[in-house]
Amino acid sequence: MAEPLRNTDDGDRPGRGAGHRGGDRTGPGGGRPAGGRAAEPAEAQDAARLWADVVATARRTVADGLVVGTSGNVSARLGDLVLVTPSGVPYDRLTPADLTGVDLTGRQVLGTLVPTSELPLHLAVYRTTDARAVVHTHAVHATAVSTLVPELPSVHYMAAALGGPVRVAPYAAYGTDELAGNMLGALAGRSGCLLQNHGTITYGATLDQAYDRTAQLEWMCRLWLTASSVPGLAPSLLTEAQLAEVGERLKGYGQRR
């Protein structure tokens, strides 16, 4: 079992130490969940597989430089169950036994590690969209942009892949319902947004899609910062109509069978 660290924002939850929640520790392979309902074997297998994907995606955010330490979090939905990375545990230490699951109200139903302190963000997305996966990071270029503008200027057509110009949700303290509310406003009609002076959040139908949207968002922010940093010049921007046209074409993009 991984031991949580206490040196990140996500790990700093006074009075709520990881590993001291009531209930027996259970994993997906057997035993009773903390919530009391015995998981069916098939459900447990699905949860175990999805947990492995959640952990792999979280590790990828670190390997690709989108997250430093444990300053981000990843979740995926399986029916009414949300698997989510725990608070303050380095992703390379997470094992199958660390599976952490909550219901859509945030009640812990699997595992004993404390879920990420950003749980309200993840749950707000699942309650209001058809998301099956959510990725949250403090990626450096995206976070830099979140301190400069209320909306990422449309320097590239890939903004259409996120539903249009990417908004910045007004600042509120991490882990609060206020931040979740601000985020939902910025996400209207979008599959990703920036959180002012904080980071990124994207969602998708799969963990890969949510991850790719975060990577694209960080890349677009880096692109705008690069283009707008040339003295005496300002980048040309795409119109809403140009983005909408690309949005239509992206719906049919990909390998044809």
CA 48 to chain centre: 19
Burial 183-205 (b: 16+ CB within 10 A, else e): bbebbeebbbbbbbebbbbbbbe
Q: CB atoms < 10 A from the CB of 35, how many?
A: 16
Beta strand 133-137 with 199-204: parallel, antiparallel or unpaired? antiparallel
The partner residues of 241 in beta bridges, in order of sequence, read none
Query: Active site residue: 118, 151, 240, 248, which one?
Result: 118
- Looking up tokens 């990843």, which residue turns up? 74
Distance CA 168, CA 244 (A): 20
Provide the residue type at 64 as one letter. D
Instruction: Round to whole Å and give the CA distance between 194 and 80.
Output: 27
Let me know if 43 is a catalytic residue.
no
Torsion angles phi and psi, residue 44, rounded to 5: -65, -40
Cβ distance 83 to 96 under 8 Å? no
| CA-closest candidate to residue 76, choices 8, 9, 136 | 136
Q: Which residues are catalytically annotated?
A: 118
